[in-house]
A and B are shown apart, each in its own frame.
Chain A
Amino acid sequence: MFATKKLILALASTLALAAQAQLDAGTPAAVAAKVALRGDAHDVRIPEMRVVRRNDILIVQADLLNSGKSDRTVFYRFRWLDNIGSQVGDGESWKQMGLLGQAQQTVKSVAPSSVVTDFRLEMNVER
């Protein structure tokens, strides 16, 4: 049980490091740990993420900032996890969002149930 927990933690930190390596330096490490980025961030970073539990439901907001001058297309979705790291529900649908050059947009999502205690923001950025 302890070994499994250690393995999960090691895997989580590896994944977090991988995400951190791909995101821009303007994304804090604590935020990068919650992001699962596929491919290159193409100048898109997440300077801030706000997490609040309201009415026993987890609510997440993430600011996506395009620090480059060219427009970007971001595909994203939130993955909701329970206290042992298992996925809750079937998963959200992927969303497409246009992000203008040097513009910031906030994405928001609400957990589908009270058992959700953690999350990941899955995303990839197209030029």
Chain B
Amino acid sequence: MSRLTSCALLLCATLGLTACETTSPVVRLDRQVNYGDAKAVELVTNEFGSTDLQMIAEKMVGSLLETGIFQGRPTVTISTVKNKTSEYIDTTNVMNSIQTTLVKSGKVRFVRSIAEMQQGVDELQRQNQSGLYKQSSTAKVGKMTAAKYTLEGELTSIVKQSTTTKDVFYKFTLKMIDVEEGSIEWQDEKEIRKTSKR
């Protein structure tokens, strides 16, 4: 009886283990696709990539916070970021990363950039001119806070190529300008060299 009970228990355990084989909650077809580390060093090609964007943003934010220029939480806006490289690069992405980290730091207030202004104007007009809203709840026109500083940047590159080697040198320069005085209050740059061999 005891042996029979042991056998039954062993069988149950085996069946239990078989049933416990887990599968991951994914829908996958033939092609192998996986999520990777968004912060990993990307070395697929020489072209401007995610690691370059992240390194630039981290360097600029660190440099800005270190200077202490944001004492009193001044207002800042983003101006143009010129792409002077031969590649198509969405430089807005770099500035978005910088702005996100600075906003999260709580040290600075960002106000609408030129590119974002039309949406703000449209919303103000909708609230004040459509006649749909209670007067007491509408955002008033003429109450926006202007930027004390503006951030202007540019990205350049130097590309050298031989039969076996390709060398790309990127330089990102960012300036913070006092809007009223027109003076450059802070400036820094990030240099990146990427070399590939065939």
Contact = CB atoms under 8 A, between A and B. Distances in A.
Given A93-B51, A112-B101, A55 B65 contact: yes
B66 A113 contact: no
Chain B facing A: main interface SS: helix
B128 interface: no
A54 B104 contact: no
B168 to A, nearest CB: 15
A113 B104 contact: yes
Contacts of B18: none
A122 to B, nearest CB: 11
A114 B54 CA distance: 21
Interface residues of B, number: 23
B14 interface: no
B58 A54 contact: no
B65 A95 contact: no
A77 interface: yes
B142 interface: no
B55 A59 contact: no
12 contacts: A55-B71, A89-B101, A92-B39, A93-B39, A93-B51, A94-B37, A94-B51, A110-B62, A111-B65, A112-B61, A113-B104, A114-B106
Interface of A: 54-55, 57, 59, 75, 77, 89-96, 108-114
